[in-house]
């Protein structure tokens, strides 16, 4: 009966669940790392760990959310509420900082897409792919796990290659979540301008959202703003200009 209740009131269960994880993470942060590792970084890592366990347990694609009593996690962590909360963080953001970094932010989106694409495409070539469609699709996946399948579908890539492109994007997004707080100091990620550049270069909205949340929540609106343009720009460039360049190079 309790199980049924937790499933029926899924979203409320998810609130309780996330609250408990957060409490435990901040407790760990304070007592185990003496505040060196931010509580939200631990909470996000714990979320990813639980997603892994959920995947092992159910064999599904939605991590912990495939476990029936945690189905509300899918709604709470879904794109609708995520975007709603991201937009809310913009309230009170510094308009002048955004204007100042506006053009660099825009430039970083294009550079970020091309950079990740080139890296992904080179890895695809290194692994023996030699047709332009597969190389382009895997390169696009290294941008984000949405750009990959959109490009693959547009070009008619095989489903194996599309799956690889999604996986590459997933690896990227998860790494960005985990690594951002660790490298923030070394890459100067401590002001609105660099946060906008960071969002534009990384592009994966979930990665940027998680990474900045664990680094400095005040920077979230600046990074998120540029990051949300990335997938669109990627879907624009990858199946067109970037594909033509790859086809020209591969012959």
Q: Within 50-69, which residues bind other proteins (CB under 8 A)?
A: 50-52, 54-56, 61-65
- Which of 219, 235, 242, 246 binds other proteins (CB under 8 A)? It is 235
Q: Which is nearer to other proteins, 1 or 106 (CB)?
A: 106
The count of chain residues that interact with other proteins, using the rule CB under 8 A, is 113
- 3-state DSSP of 182-216: HHCCCCCCCCHHHHHHHHHHHCCHHHHHHHHHHHC
- Which of 138, 162, 219, 246 binds other proteins (CB under 8 A)? It is 138
Residues 194-213: x where in contact with other proteins by CB under 8 A, - otherwise, as a string: x--xx--xx--xx--xx--x
- Which of 5, 19, 244, 249 binds other proteins (CB under 8 A)? It is 19
Q: Which is nearer to other proteins, 154 or 250 (CB)?
A: 154
- Can residue 16 be called a binding residue for other proteins (CB under 8 A)? no
- In the complex, least distance from residue 120 CB atom to other proteins, rounded to whole angstroms: 4
The full DSSP string for the chain is -HHHHHHHTHHHHHHHHHHHHHHHHHHHHHHTSTTSS-HHHHHHHHHHHHHHHHHHHH--SSGGGGSGGGTHHHHHTSHHHHHHHHHHHTTT--HHHHHHHHHHHHHHHHHHHHHHHHHHHHHHHHTT--SHHHHHHHHHHHH-TTHHHHHHHHHT--HHHHHHHHHHHHHHHHHHHHHHHHHTTTTT--SHHHHHHHHHHH--HHHHHHHHHHH-GGGHHHHHHHHHHHHHHHHHHIIIIIHHHHHHHH-
- Kindly report the length of the chain: 251
- Can residue 137 be called a binding residue for other proteins (CB under 8 A)? no
- In the complex, least distance from residue 229 CB atom to other proteins, rounded to whole angstroms: 4
- Can residue 229 be called a binding residue for other proteins (CB under 8 A)? yes
Near other proteins in 89-128, by CB under 8 A: 89-93, 95, 98, 100-101, 104, 107-108, 111-112, 115-116, 119-120, 123-124, 127
- Can residue 83 be called a binding residue for other proteins (CB under 8 A)? yes
- Can residue 87 be called a binding residue for other proteins (CB under 8 A)? yes
Near other proteins in 21-50, by CB under 8 A: 21-22, 40, 43-50
- Can residue 218 be called a binding residue for other proteins (CB under 8 A)? no
Nearest 5 degrees, angle CA 14-CA 15-CA 21? 85
Is the four-CA dihedral 184, 186, 187, 193 of positive or negative sign? positive
Q: Which is nearer to other proteins, 1 or 67 (CB)?
A: 67
Q: Which is nearer to other proteins, 167 or 245 (CB)?
A: 167
- Can residue 131 be called a binding residue for other proteins (CB under 8 A)? no
């Amino acid at each position: 009966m309790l199980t049924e209740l937790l499933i029926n009131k899924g979203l409320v269960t998810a609130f309780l669940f996330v609250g408990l994880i957060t409490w435990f993470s901040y407790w760990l942060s304070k007592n185990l790392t003496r505040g060196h590792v931010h509580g939200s970084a631990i909470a996000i890592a714990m979320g990813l760990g639980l997603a892994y366990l959920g995947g092992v347990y159910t064999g599904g694609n939605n991590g912990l959310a495939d476990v029936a009593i945690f189905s509300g996690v899918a709604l709470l962590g879904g794109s609708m509420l995520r975007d709603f909360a991201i937009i809310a963080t913009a309230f009170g953001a510094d308009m002048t900082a955004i204007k100042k970094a506006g053009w660099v932010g825009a430039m970083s989106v294009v550079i970020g897409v091309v950079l990740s694409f080139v890296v992904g495409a080179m890895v695809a070539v290194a692994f023996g792919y030699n047709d332009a469609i597969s190389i382009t699709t895997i390169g696009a996946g290294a941008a984000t796990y949405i750009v990959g399948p959109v490009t693959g579908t547009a070009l008619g890539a095989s489903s194996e290659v599309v799956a690889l492109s999604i996986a590459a994007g997933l690896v990227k997004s998860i790494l960005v979540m985990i690594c951002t707080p660790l490298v923030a100091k070394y890459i100067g990620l401590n002001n609105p301008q660099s946060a906008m550049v960071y969002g534009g270069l990384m592009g994966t909205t979930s990665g940027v959202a998680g990474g900045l949340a664990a680094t400095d929540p005040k920077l979230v609106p600046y990074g998120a703003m540029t990051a949300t343009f990335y997938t669109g720009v990627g879907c624009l460039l990858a199946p067109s200009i970037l594909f033509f360049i790859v086809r020209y190079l591969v012959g």
